[in-house]
Amino acid sequence: MNPPKSRGSQLGRGLSALLGNESVDIPQNNNTTGKSTEPQGFSLMPVEFLVQSPLQPRRVFSQEDIDSLAKSIKERGILQPILVRPSAADADEYEIIAGERRWRAAQVAQLHEVPVIIKEMNDEEVLEVALIENIQRADLNVLEEAFGYRRLIDDFNHTQDSLASVLGKSRSHIANTLRLLVLPDGLKKLLAEGAISAGHARALIGAVNPKSIADEIVKRGLNVRQVENMVRSSKEEPKTPRLTLKSTEKDADTLALERSLTDVLGLNVEIDFDGSGGKLSVKYKTLDQLDDIIRRLSDSE
């Protein structure tokens, strides 16, 4: 299947491409009819007409941030309209595409109406715009970002290359972020809470004892290089006398290739060669790790 056509020229610039500029001047004393207020191009809409989008990639909203924004809104108003689309479920409702945090804060600030811009968008466009807005404003944690990428790949037939083009990210960033989804739930929780960084988490992929190493990160404040060394040491098997013939021992080039592939995949790789052929083995522990291998092989086609 061919990858979807890139709309990077529009979406890569974020909301400014949709709103027409970086911010919209919203008069503080505007009509409350809900009708379009040209030339600004926005409408005032009751807050209860707006609903959350199931496509919103952001899962966690800090109440402290919401309260801080509410205070600013009380003093200065909402400086940028909320982007919405008509709801498919209810003709009187509008689904939030971008600006859910502003909508939540407006309710805390006890505003009855908020400025909105209404756009007709399909689900793919909604998810892309929501990702762009949150990524550009650093509102998403890295796992929310990864789940957003996975949704675009699974539901809308994107590839890592097309995502990189549409979202303005490098392919390696997309790939490295997606790798975090294979982590055990306990490590995902630590990552989402900020107890470990994305760099720590990537180093732990494929580790023999990731949870114990993660505990050491939290306890001792280890940096990523230290974690990589610990993971490398945990993978080293104890040296025992070999009973096989010397001719069957792996040469230095084969061992180096094994180490290289192990580092790239984050999983133990073994190469067995019998002189005329051989086999390459990738060891995984969970179905998530197997799923990640299959996806990465599919993406490389």
DSSP result, 220-265:
H---HHHHHHHHHHHHPPPP----S-GGGSPPHHHHHHHHHHHHHH
pLDDT at residue 18, rounded to an integer: 46
Residue 100 is a catalytic residue: yes
Tokens encoding 287: 């179905």
SS3 41: coil
Question: Which pLDDT tens digit goes with each residue over 233-280?
Answer: 877 655 554 444 344 567 777 777 777 777 777 778 888 877 667 788
Say yes or no to pLDDT of 24 above 60: no
Beta carbons of 58 and 26 less than 8 angstroms apart: no
Instruction: Identify the weakest region by mean pLDDT among 10-24, 141-155, 253-267.
Output: 10-24
The DSSP call for residue 269 is: E
CA 101 from chain center: how many Å? 18
Which CA distances in Å does 165 have to 13, 43, 121, 170? 11, 32, 20, 8
Backbone phi and psi for residue 286, each to the nearest 5 degrees, phi listed first: -130, 160
CATH match of 8-136 with 3.90.1530.10: yes
Selection from 98, 184, 79 nearest residue 136 by Cα: 98
**CA–CA dist 77, 111 (Å, integer):** 9
Q: What are the beta bridge partners of residue 115?
A: 44
**CA–CA dist 59, 65 (Å, integer):** 14
- State mean pLDDT over 104-127: 92
Say yes or no to pLDDT of 281 above 60: yes
pLDDT at residue 55, rounded to an integer: 86
Q: What are the beta bridge partners of residue 280?
A: 271
Q: What are the beta bridge partners of residue 185?
A: none
Point out the catalytic residue in the list 64, 75, 95, 100.
100
Dihedral angle sign, alpha carbons of residues 236, 241, 243, 247: positive
Selection from 244, 7, 41 nearest residue 126 by Cα: 7
pLDDT at residue 279, rounded to an integer: 84
Domain boundaries, the chain: 8-136, 243-301
Pairing of β 82-86 and β 113-118: parallel
